[in-house]
Amino acid sequence: MREIVLDTETTGFDPETGDRIVEIGGVELYNHIATGRTYHQYINPERPMPQEAFEVHGLGDDFLRDKPKFAQIGQEFLDFVGDAVLVIHNASFDMKFLNAELRWMGLPQLPMSQSLDTLAIARKRFPGAPATLDALCRRFNIDNSSRTLHGALLDSEILAEVYLELIGGRQPDLVLTRRSTGGDQGDDNWRPRPRPTPLPSRLTEAERTAHDAFVDKLGDDPLWRRG
């Protein structure tokens, strides 16, 4: 199962009043294991960056001026996402912005059924407790010390770790590389590989002997002797 842990940064709270996306970050998981493939894009919002948004994201007009507009990267973003489940903290917010941008381009919109809201999962698991990303990092002892400003790729990397804890714990071999690589990185056909050396049997000699004696009593062609 392919999932994209996704985050966006915006100029404000409502695309219908003129707010736009300024950054998208995504981390690809396959069967709940990070593949190392990421998507990261800064976007020119085609409007001034409000001071309060600048203070949260650290992205100013000068920095964003030469970045591509959403219309230039929208199809590339859809191609990266494909039919993957979108794991988002407060999914309705990000999906609202993404679908507004896609609608303005005349591109297919992303159905809400394609998203999975980690905020809703956290509130269900820990009713009444704080469910912000920072609060969940504290609960699960996840290091978010580098999160001094909101950044889409960093937040999606942190959210990937939080998500895996919310659904039952991180895989022991999970490695989330914190680097800003483009959407063309990685292998579309990546799959978790089998162990190069099988794990040794934990069956003791006494258990093996007892099992053989039991099978001997089952007739001439028991299932355990075939193959």
Model pLDDT for residues 123-153, shown as the tens digit of each residue: 999 999 999 999 999 999 998 887 655 689 9
Q: What is the pLDDT of residue 191?
A: 58
Q: Cα separations (Å) of 29 from 33, 78, 157, 221?
A: 5, 17, 11, 45
Model-wide pTM > 0.75: no
Please give the residue range of the domain that contains residue 147.
Answer: 2-195
**Annotated active-site residue in 40, 57, 89, 150:** 150
152 domain residue, yes or no: yes
11 domain residue, yes or no: yes
Q: What is the pLDDT of residue 194?
A: 61
Q: Cα separations (Å) of 58 from 39, 66, 150, 157, 207?
A: 20, 16, 8, 18, 63
112 domain residue, yes or no: yes
225 domain residue, yes or no: no
For the question of residue 150 being annotated catalytic, the response is: yes
Q: What angle do CA 181, 103, 75 make, to 5 degrees?
A: 35
216 domain residue, yes or no: no
Number of helices (H) and strands (E), helices first, in the chain?
Answer: 8, 5
101 domain residue, yes or no: yes
Q: What is the CATH number of the domain that holds 182?
A: 3.30.420.10
61 domain residue, yes or no: yes
Sheet (strand 115-117) strand order: 33-42, 21-30, 2-10, 85-88, 115-117
**How many domains does the structure of the chain reveal?**
1
Query: Which positions of the chain have pLDDT values less than 50?
Result: 172-187
Q: Cα separations (Å) of 33 from 29, 58, 60, 102, 186?
A: 5, 30, 34, 29, 14
25 domain residue, yes or no: yes
Q: What is the pLDDT of residue 175?
A: 47
Pairing relationship of beta strands 85-88 and 2-10 according to DSSP bridges: parallel
What would the two tokens of residue 177 be? 């590389």
